[in-house]
Amino acid sequence: MLLDAPTLALVAALGLGAAVIGAVGGFGTGVILTAALTPLLGVKALVPVLAVATVIINMGRFWFYRQHLDRRLFLIVVASALPFLLLGVWIYSTLDARTLGVVLGLMIISFVPLRRLLKKYEIVIGPKGLVVGGGVFGLASGVATGTGVILISLLLGTGLAGPAVLATDALITIALDFCKALLFQRFSLLDSQHFFTGVVIGVASIPGSALGAWLVARMHAHLHVLFMEALILFGGGFMLWHSWS
């Protein structure tokens, strides 16, 4: 679907706004974009477009924190996630638009209780658990957007903290979304227009991330996490409503 200039400008504005909110909450940019872009792009185009966008979105974050990368955890997660990412993309390619909307909506809503459960029990994850979790993350990433909360929870569960989490999370996301974009192209789900739309979103997000970081320094941590959870629940509910409307 070819987007005209005003629609592309709207898409860019949504990318900017989602980047601000995502930077404030630390997760959820993909969820917000999913809900906002569904009426413009359609359910089937969403994940391929956002695969391109999130590569660009995470490049800046990784560059800033690159010295804190945990290479061992990066390799474990990517190696365990890639085979299941392929399976997830294949599943995505076989689903119709209505089923996809239901799957995306339910997965997005589930991220709120999942994040709270992992935080409540302070689950400690060893190498074997990281491999299993990497596989789950890879499968979820192939089928849905907004799965960053799974990866963040995995990395925190290993004892990683601070800039090391941000750097490792960013590079894992870049690697998997780059592979995901190639797979979507192989399955004829990512054409040149969708690729360009993803680039527009990614580039527009760069100043939004900087603004979000500025806001984080001035907002209470508990407040912006609750804010993000409300947005995630709204986004998942919107996806379910749009699928059946």
pLDDT digits (tens, 9 = 90+) for 10-27: 888 888 887 777 666 556
Q: What is the tens place of the pLDDT at every residue in 186-224?
A: 888 888 888 988 898 888 888 877 776 676 556 565 665
CB 132 within 8 A of CB 76: no
Q: How many angstroms separate the CA atoms of 181 and 195, rounded?
A: 9
DSSP-assigned letter for residue 96: -
CA distance 232 to 228: 6
What would the two tokens of residue 243 be?
């699928």
Q: What domain range includes position 19?
A: 5-244
Tell whether the torsion through CA atoms of 121, 81, 68 and 72 is positive or negative: positive
CA–CA separation, 201 and 47 (whole Å): 13
Nearest-angstrom CA–CA distance, 154 and 175: 17
Domains contained in the chain, number: 1
pLDDT in tens, 38-87: 788 887 788 899 899 889 888 877 887 788 899 999 999 999 999 999 99
DSSP 8-state code for residue 219:
S
